[in-house]
Structure 1
Amino acid sequence: MSIGASIFVAVKPIIKICLSVSAGIFFSKKNVLDIHTSKKVSSMLINYFFPCIIFSKVVVAFDSGTMRTVGFCVLAAIIYMGSGTIFAIILRIFAPVPKFWRGGSAVASIFSNSGDIPMAYVMTITASKPFKDGDETQGIAYVSVIMSVYVAFMFAGGCVQLIENDFKNPPQQDLENTVGEKQKAGSKAKKFKSVLNIKRSKKGSTLSTGTSEMDAEKSPKPADYDDSEFGATRLAVGLANPVLARTSALIPMATSNTIDSHNSLRPIESAGVRSIRQRLNARREDDAQTVDLNDDEDDDGDALDPVVSAVTAEINIEKHNVVLARFIIFLRNLYQPPTASLIVSIVVAVIDPVKALFVQTDYDMPSAPDGQPPLDFVMDFAEFIGNACVPFGLLLLGGMIGRLSIKSLPKGFWKYLVALILLKLVVTPIIAIAFTQGFRKSGIIDDDNLVLAFVFIMSSGVPSSTSQVYLTTFFAPEDMEHIPQMDCLAACLISQYIVLVLTLAILVTYTLQIIL
């Protein structure tokens, strides 16, 4: 393929991505794709569209003889996160990272938007040479595995708490941006589902996903603490971003009790827990002035949020075994629709008789009256619904970018932005090219598996995860009139997406011309 042809093939998907994102920006400016609408569309995306595209692609792409590629995808994601962790340390030492955004800067460096953009590229570019028929299905399956690893480390690994820590004990300059009284919520606050809760006691630790009636009776509460609304500091977050977000998951909150100067027991609240209480209080104030709403009958669609609490249990653990809490959180992530879809898809793919029920294989399976496998209609349905995943994801991405705004930035912050762009969009792809070529030359990756090499390299040259926007908004206290952490994050995302148009075209052109 000539250089001109490679450039044309590399730029064509960018045009599609930019047009889709621009449409999202336009609708957000017209207030059609507002936060409320985006939340609902994202719930459908994560719970419905995305599981369908995973099932339709993974079942076809993998079998018992190609499962080692799943391990390669997991390894690739770990390498990228590992390099991002090193970058975060370097930026923390040498770049002007503000104290109030140290956790957020680490997350921005470690995690990437590994979903929408790679999928959009795979769906477009695999239609041209040097790719062949079937590469699109395999490519999307590889992207799904990489993205699932990112989500597992973000939530089950507890990295999301880095964002929460930015709102604990804010520096003096941040306090000037707060207001004395809580802002009233403009809409009904979410009715939160009970999730895993970690409590400390003298005898050790208690790991629970629910609070028994006995505990509720024994535990004294302050006057303004409404147990019917809030429970024992339980937290569930519904992510609206399909990228990383796509695999939204549970966030644990560690709480403890302490005796204050009035000799009364009061819960020590994290930033996220404080935000929940404030929003619930605001909702009660609004409801008292308007109408009496029945939460059981009108939950505003919360039952379809990406994060649901499916299991409640209470497990006593010793203090030195708190690591068990992380393992329980990891297991609970398996209940989420995208993760569950990936697991089911892999199981179906590796069992030949089961796979033959859905797709044509060498296994001897009686056909349906139309000559297709007996459950071919399931695959047809999953593919039909899954095809809407990428367009909706790019539309929501544009809507998110359109709502971002920058009011003020710390002095010299531009130096951090330049360094982050270079590390994520230039250095990381170089690392990806190096290890991909090393695997191909050593025979670990087959030379003819071009789409696997392309996905590895493509997934390395994307911006920070946009799901961080929703997490930052969630953990910010309700009484913050201005969120400086959001200013820093908005500057990072906007600058990366502007530069991405150039760096991605160069990366794909180089990959097609030299690597493949």
Structure 2
Amino acid sequence: MVAAGAIIWISVRPLIRLFICVTCGFVLTKADLFPVLASRTLGQVILNVTLPSLMFSKMVPAFTPENIGALGPLVLVAVIYEVLGVFMAWICKTFFWVPHRFRYGILVAGGWGNVGDIPTSVIMSITGAAPFGGSDQTLSVAYISAFILVYMITLFPMGAHYLVLQDFVGPEVENYEVQEQVREKRKVLLYGWPKALLRLCRRQSMSTKEDPDPENQSSTGQYTPEKEQEQSPSFAIRPRSHNKRVSFLNNSNSNNLDHHRTYEDHELDATTAVPTDGAAQSHIASPAPTVTAHDFEYENPREKDSSPRSISGELEKTEPPPPLTESQRRRKRILAKTKVAIKSLFNPCSITMIVAIPIALIAPLKGLFTPTSNASIPNAPDGEPPLAFILDFANFMGAASVPLGLICLGSALARLNVPRSEWSKLPTGAIFSLAVLKMVVSPVIGVVMTIGLTSAGVISKEDKVLQFVCMFFSCLPTATTQVYLTQVYSGTGSAEFLSPFLLPQYFLMFFSMTGLTAYSLAYLF
């Protein structure tokens, strides 16, 4: 049993190191020594070189046929955490208003946490010392790679990053309109269903007491539909006074056709083209003209000069190929998305896992990189396995992954700018509820779930590293990768709506992560 003071110090020590590394990136960015271009370039170096090297250097020695079965529980836990995060974000979105340009981004912020820099830094520090063993550090990084793989596959090949893109599709919607919508929705969820249930029960109870003889209904004073209408209050939701309707005004005597269209609940008609400039802001748009066969006819000026003229002097008109059918367009879209998904799947981190796992499980291949007892592979002149230099390179390069990643994290946090005067206009309810759910409620659920899976035999009771990793990943803030995605998809290079959601999470992280680590170590040891 480890002493309480030792557990607290073991839990705080890696966070101090993490804080110092993040502060370095923060200070460099504020001093204008680490520009945006350098940060993005360094991010590409991490994703394509240092992080795959770190994963390869830890997975090949760590995985064996005895512990490879831990990949199944790791993938299961990773998927559960993502689904749980999305559900928590949906709760925040339902009961608290969120800016229109962040209506889908909040789901990504809830489901996809920072699975790379923070857990690798903290878990490597904790598992590299007592009460863990000497080889537990290597095994922990191998377990972390499973979470990184699920993160990469679900965010990019499976298309979760397109949710960030959907935030910037369609016209702008004012905040007060979104607030009114959420207010009405919250009223229905909190007060509407009890009233509807009460009315249903009242109808059923009154119908059982109803006299089957229609002549006695009025004389006995029993239940009648007219009396129900007079006695029972109306529980119908009052319609919003500012609801708008779609109207089309057609004047056949005029040469100009004006289409006045307004939006209800701010949903666009998929068949109407709405401009993104001032016309969209005034909610007045002209519908796209109907495409006919005559619209495909065109004249090429070069052909007008070079082509021979007919007797009537008119140009020979050429027609483009016929338009694609709906099934052909659908097939083309599916094929394009499939190509993008396959291309995204073969990123360096995924390829590293695909290559490293077979090497770690096949004894002759593993003997080429690291000494093994059941592989008779002749050594190199220096006494090491023939390909040990590749593993040395991966160890050397992978050691830079964590500090560089933390510097990029500090740089990203330094660029989050939320003026103090704007806090009163921000969705504080959604901001703090998401922070509390992710950094306080989620760790409690993660610990309970890990204990339950261990009791059920899904997670091995002897593998304390596996249990600690599963518990720790329940307490991760939103990934800073979403900042870069938002900057790209917004078209303006800003992430103004995401910034206020990140700051409270990373502030609470130091307290909740310390408490979670201390409790996990006390429970395991």
Return the TM-score normalized by structure 2.
0.68
| Residue equivalent to 1:404 | 416
| Residue equivalent to 1:25 | 26
- Are 2:369 and 2:391, in contact at CA under 8 Å, matched by a contact in 1? yes
Say which of 352, 355, 360 aligns to 2:363.
352
Say which of 343, 354, 359 aligns to 2:354.
343
Tell me the distance in 2 between the aligned counterparts of 1:429 and 1:264: 59
Tell me the distance in 2 between the aligned counterparts of 1:327 and 1:131: 44
Tell me the distance in 2 between the aligned counterparts of 1:511 and 1:147: 22
- Are 1:167 and 1:476, in contact at CA under 8 Å, matched by a contact in 2? yes
- Are 1:433 and 1:457, in contact at CA under 8 Å, matched by a contact in 2? yes
- Are 1:100 and 1:170, in contact at CA under 8 Å, matched by a contact in 2? no
| Residue equivalent to 1:456 | 470
State the secondary structure of the residue aligned to 1:167. coil
Tell me the distance in 1 between the aligned counterparts of 2:41 and 2:486: 19
| Residue equivalent to 1:489 | 498
The one-character-per-residue Cα deviations of 1:107-160 (angstroms, maximum 9, x if unpaired) are 111110011111001221112222101111111111111012112111111111
| Residue equivalent to 1:511 | 520
User: Which has a greater percent of strand?
Assistant: 1
Of structures 1 and 2, the larger Rg is shown by 2
Which range is displaced more, 16-25 or 61-70?
61-70
Tell me the distance in 1 between the aligned counterparts of 2:331 and 2:449: 38
- Are 1:409 and 1:488, in contact at CA under 8 Å, matched by a contact in 2? no
| Residue equivalent to 1:502 | 511
- Are 1:98 and 1:410, in contact at CA under 8 Å, matched by a contact in 2? no
Tell me the distance in 1 between the aligned counterparts of 2:521 and 2:102: 38
- Are 1:157 and 1:326, in contact at CA under 8 Å, matched by a contact in 2? no
The one-character-per-residue Cα deviations of 1:408-433 (angstroms, maximum 9, x if unpaired) are 35746111122111111112212221
Task: Please report how far the alpha carbon of residue 324 of structure 1 lies from its aligned counterpart in structure 2 after TM superposition.
Answer: 5.8
Distance 1:514 1:342, change over 3 A: same
Task: Please report how far the alpha carbon of residue 447 of structure 1 lies from its aligned counterpart in structure 2 after TM superposition.
Answer: 2.2
The reply to whether residue 440 of structure 1 matches residue 450 of structure 2 is: no
Tell me the distance in 1 between the aligned counterparts of 2:110 and 2:332: 30
Identity %: 33
- Are 2:96 and 2:429, in contact at CA under 8 Å, matched by a contact in 1? yes
| Residue equivalent to 1:385 | 397
State the secondary structure of the residue aligned to 1:365. coil
Distance 1:321 1:41, change over 3 A: closer
- Are 2:450 and 2:470, in contact at CA under 8 Å, matched by a contact in 1? yes
| Residue equivalent to 2:79 | 78
Distance 1:50 1:412, change over 3 A: closer
Tell me the distance in 1 between the aligned counterparts of 2:86 and 2:173: 28
Q: 5+ unaligned residues in a row in structure 2: which ranges?
A: 176-286, 294-326
- Are 2:22 and 2:407, in contact at CA under 8 Å, matched by a contact in 1? yes
Tell me the distance in 1 between the aligned counterparts of 2:92 and 2:412: 26
The one-character-per-residue Cα deviations of 1:165-210 (angstroms, maximum 9, x if unpaired) are 1111232448xxxxxxxxxxxxxxxxxxxxxxxxxxxxxxxxxxxx
Task: Please report how far the alpha carbon of residue 2 of structure 1 lies from its aligned counterpart in structure 2 after TM superposition.
Answer: 1.1
- Are 2:464 and 2:524, in contact at CA under 8 Å, matched by a contact in 1? no
Tell me the distance in 2 between the aligned counterparts of 1:380 and 1:409: 50
| Residue equivalent to 1:329 | 340
Letter of the structure 2 residue corresponding to residue 509 of structure 1: A
Distance 1:499 1:58, change over 3 A: same
State the secondary structure of the residue aligned to 1:348. helix
Q: How is 1:53-452 mapped onto 2 (pairs within 5 angstroms)?
A: 53-173=54-174, 260-261=288-289, 319=330, 326-362=337-373, 363-407=375-419, 408=422, 411=425, 413-452=427-466
Distance 1:378 1:438, change over 3 A: same
Tell me the distance in 2 between the aligned counterparts of 1:264 and 1:425: 57
Letter of the structure 1 residue corresponding to residue 115 of structure 2: S
How many residues of Structure 1 are paired with residues of Structure 2 in the alignment? 377
Letter of the structure 2 residue corresponding to residue 96 of structure 1: W
Task: Please report how far the alpha carbon of residue 321 of structure 1 lies from its aligned counterpart in structure 2 after TM superposition.
Answer: 9.3
- Are 2:100 and 2:173, in contact at CA under 8 Å, matched by a contact in 1? no
Return the TM-score normalized by structure 1.
0.69
The reply to whether residue 35 of structure 1 matches residue 33 of structure 2 is: no
The one-character-per-residue Cα deviations of 1:249-292 (angstroms, maximum 9, x if unpaired) are xxxxxxxxxx9439699xxxxxxxxxxxxxxxxxxxxxxxxxxx
Tell me the distance in 1 between the aligned counterparts of 2:56 and 2:83: 29
Tell me the distance in 2 between the aligned counterparts of 1:120 and 1:264: 62
- Are 1:87 and 1:109, in contact at CA under 8 Å, matched by a contact in 2? yes
Tell me the distance in 1 between the aligned counterparts of 2:150 and 2:136: 21
Tell me the distance in 2 between the aligned counterparts of 1:86 and 1:112: 14
State the secondary structure of the residue aligned to 1:445. coil
Letter of the structure 2 residue corresponding to residue 493 of structure 1: L
Distance 1:85 1:400, change over 3 A: same
Cα RMSD between the aligned structures? 2.3
- Are 1:163 and 1:471, in contact at CA under 8 Å, matched by a contact in 2? yes
| Residue equivalent to 1:47 | 48
Task: Please report how far the alpha carbon of residue 83 of structure 1 lies from its aligned counterpart in structure 2 after TM superposition.
Answer: 0.6
Letter of the structure 2 residue corresponding to residue 344 of structure 1: V
Which range is displaced more, 110-119 or 346-355?
346-355
- Are 2:73 and 2:458, in contact at CA under 8 Å, matched by a contact in 1? no
